[in-house]
Structure 1
Amino acid sequence: MTREDWESVATEPDNKLDLGYQLSEWEQFEALDDTDQLIFLPSSEAQLEDAAFVVAADDSIVDLNSQC
């Protein structure tokens, strides 16, 4: 997406139509090493095979159910 494309997008763009995002379901798991780390993996095995994963710091995670 070029700067001009980005600037022409609506203030509240549609994630799929305007930005090309594709939503997917992810599952949350606790790490098995007794730390507070969480692991997020896609629900779809096909996405898992595509090496889809997220690495994030603790302060980057927000519970949208309680924050919105």
Structure 2
Amino acid sequence: MAETFKVPADSINENSSAENIERWDSFGYLQLVTNLEEEYHVSFDETELLRMTSYRSIKAILEGKGIEI
């Protein structure tokens, strides 16, 4: 996430979201999804994509797929 949005890794936390990461716009979001799918060899369904609005929600979705963050 930090690499995708070009922010320091230590600035990403449970409260990180589109509301407080400047580069988290529609294009940034698509990059993030693509990067996550490539890095963790997963795909997301429509419901998951709609829920991916924050670090916390993304972490929960990945954990639901058996990926520990």
- Give the alignment's TM-score, normalised by structure 2: 0.26
Mark the structure with the bigger radius of gyration.
1
- Which of the two has greater helix per residue? 2
If asked which structure has higher relative contact order (CA below 8 Å, sep 6+), I would say: 2
Which of the pair is proportionally richer in strand? 1
